[in-house]
A and B are shown apart, each in its own frame.
Chain A
Amino acid sequence: MINLSLGANIVLNQGVINIKINSGLPVDASAFRLFANDKVKDDLDMIFYGQPKNQDASIIWQQTHNNNHEFRVDLTKLSAEVQKIAFTITCDQYSPISQLKNLSIQLDCNNEVIALGEVDINNRQEKALIMGEIYRRNTEWKFRFIAQGFNGGLKPLAEHFGVNVIDEPTPPVPTSTVNNTTTSSSVNLNKISLSKDRTSVSLSKRNDYGKIGINLNWNKQEQPTKKGFLSEFFNRSPNIDLDLAAFVRLKDQSIHVIQALGNCFGSFQSPCYVELMGDDRTGANQDGEWIYINGSHWNNIDEVLIYTFIYEGLPNWSQADGVVRIHVPDQPVIETFLTDGNNSNILCAIARLKNDNGAINVERINRYFRSQRELDYAYGWGFRWSAGRK
């Protein structure tokens, strides 16, 4: 094994290299695939927790235990245009790398360590660091230990690689618009939209996720704004009533339904740590409906499946124009639009939040069903259902 000093380089003779980044504390790690002028072409060139693999599977990200990250790079699969792959880390928004326990980048091949670069983190003010790069040199691939970065964190780092960042630094998010001619791409760091072509987002591991909020909102229908006190007794309006609901499975394998139907509102403070806050019958409430997950108890939760269903009114999804937003503290909002549903189905499974070794893995589902029973069956939860009315 070679201990690399700063700036040192080695020739890579192997086709498949595993790059391991060890930090002792949670950091975000990303690989940037770089073309001419050391810039990315588009958002497929960033490999990280939100996009663990690129289209040719030449670079694959995985998080290993103890806050470590690993990138598997298959040099033989890289296209001829690729000049470099830069491996980077970004710290928590507010702390420089000097706050980490340690920081190193290690190259493995066939389970053997071939090189190690250890960063002297003392007094280092950078919040984002280029750990090292794999690059072409004549006909060879080489690796260089760099350990240089940016005090400003992700934003200047991303810009360094030709990613035009619009918003304040949050984890890199692959929702950029691509402009190949200028080799600069634009990334909105504010919000992750889970769409059909992007179905899974993993939020990096931490111990306490705080209060995770899931919000359902939909367009209120045209109706008189002043309602008589008697209207509550005549709640047979033709307006759409969308309900937000969840299946919860705890680590002890107990399963729970959270929904207004049957008055199963759950509890935030005690098991199952998921609570539905009230019931908005009309969509008139500007804030819509909320389910809160107690992220301080995420370690007790195995899975939360979020769904919404049309309790009353015509099953017309596009008219309801619903949107579900998942808010995890300090993380970009994840949003799903409920506009492409089949109107013969009254229920839409939105997403599931799975406990993935302590991390929250958010998987978009966006599948429509005729009933809770059908949803239950599709995902194998095993509830016993009977008809109810709230």
Chain B
Amino acid sequence: MGVSLSKGGNVSLSKTDPGMKNVLIGLGWDVRATDGQDYDLDASVFLLADNGKVRSDSDFIFYNNLRSADGSVEHTGDNRTGEGEGDDESIKIKLDKIPADVAKLVFVVTIHDATVRKQSFGQVTGAFIRLVNDDSQIEVARYDLTEDASTETAMLFGELYRHNGEWKFRAVGQGYAGGLASVCQQYGINAS
């Protein structure tokens, strides 16, 4: 049972799902049924230090860097069309393996080449991103991208952050202009 999230709403993972150790971020969407270029959605994670920046480029986990150096975060691979049932891309996080100097994990969903292809989430059928307890498969939070981020091309889904010794999840639901590159810049990565 997922928690209904308003923008900025906080969910304490230890309260909603005490003892959660493994988190899965699932991104799903339907293959385009109409003619035109495919919708290629990407899920990414930034591991941020206290200063709100990455420690190094390897803290940016995405389709070209599927695994964090310490193995705490793993992306299961790029899906370029949405083919398949359920989650089409997923990122697995082992909470207790996250290094102590990582204060926060930020989850971002973007549409690849959205500007060139003139695409936004609202054009994609059945697009969602969700956070799941990967041990119990209980869905903790879900965001309907098609419906609630319809005019966006990039969105900060939410963040996991440390608070008094436990991990909390904050739903953000904030759109970005400029795609993944502008998100990278914000967190201290020069992307090209």
Contacts and interface: CB of A to CB of B under 8 A. Distances in A.
Contacts of B32: 148
A146 interface: yes
Interface string A310-330: 000000000000000000000
B147 A137 contact: yes
A336 B36 CA distance: 42
Interface in B84-135: 118-124
Contacts of B118: 6, 120
Interface residues of B, number: 16
Contacts of B150: 7-9, 144
Given A5-B151, A9-B147, A137-B147, A148 B36 contact: yes
A5 B149 CA distance: 12
Contacts of A125: 35
A149 interface: yes
B35 A6 contact: no
B123 A146 contact: yes
Interface string B23-37: 000000000111110
A7 B123 contact: yes
Contacts of A7: 120-124, 146, 150-151
B122 A144 contact: yes
A8 B34 CA distance: 17
Nearest to A152: B35
B122 to A, nearest CB: 2
A130 B34 contact: yes
A137 B150 CA distance: 14
Nearest to A137: B147
A141 interface: no
Interface in A112-170: 120, 125-126, 130, 137, 144-146, 148-152, 156, 160
B122 A126 contact: no
A144 B147 CA distance: 9
Contacts of A152: 35
Interface residues of A, number: 20
Contact of A148 (B120, B121, B123): B123
A150 B34 contact: yes
Given A5-B151, A7-B150, A7-B151, A149 B122 contact: no
A152 B34 CA distance: 10
A146 B33 CA distance: 12
A359 to B, nearest CB: 30
Contacts of A146: 123
Interface in A6-21: 6-9
A97 to B, nearest CB: 11
A366 to B, nearest CB: 41
Interface in A32-91: none
Contacts of A126: 34-35
Nearest to A147: B123
Contacts of A137: 147
A139 to B, nearest CB: 14
A318 B35 CA distance: 50
Contacts of B36: 148
B120 A149 contact: no
A149 B34 contact: yes
Contacts of A8: 120, 122, 150-151
A5 B120 CA distance: 9
A9 B122 contact: yes
Given A7-B150, A8-B151, A151 B123 contact: no
A235 B118 CA distance: 75
A7 B118 CA distance: 11
Nearest to A129: B34
A298 B118 CA distance: 44
Contact of B33 (A6, A120, A160): A160
- Pick the 4 closest A-B CB pairs, nearest first: A7-B122, A7-B123, A148-B34, A151-B35
23 contacts: A5-B120, A5-B151, A6-B118, A6-B120, A7-B121, A7-B124, A7-B146, A7-B150, A7-B151, A8-B122, A8-B150, A120-B118, A144-B150, A146-B123, A148-B32, A148-B35, A148-B123, A150-B34, A150-B35, A152-B35, A156-B35, A160-B33, A160-B34
Interface of A: 5-9, 120, 125-126, 130, 137, 144-146, 148-152, 156, 160
Given A9-B150, A149-B35, 6 more contacts: A5-B122, A7-B121, A7-B151, A8-B120, A8-B150, A146-B123
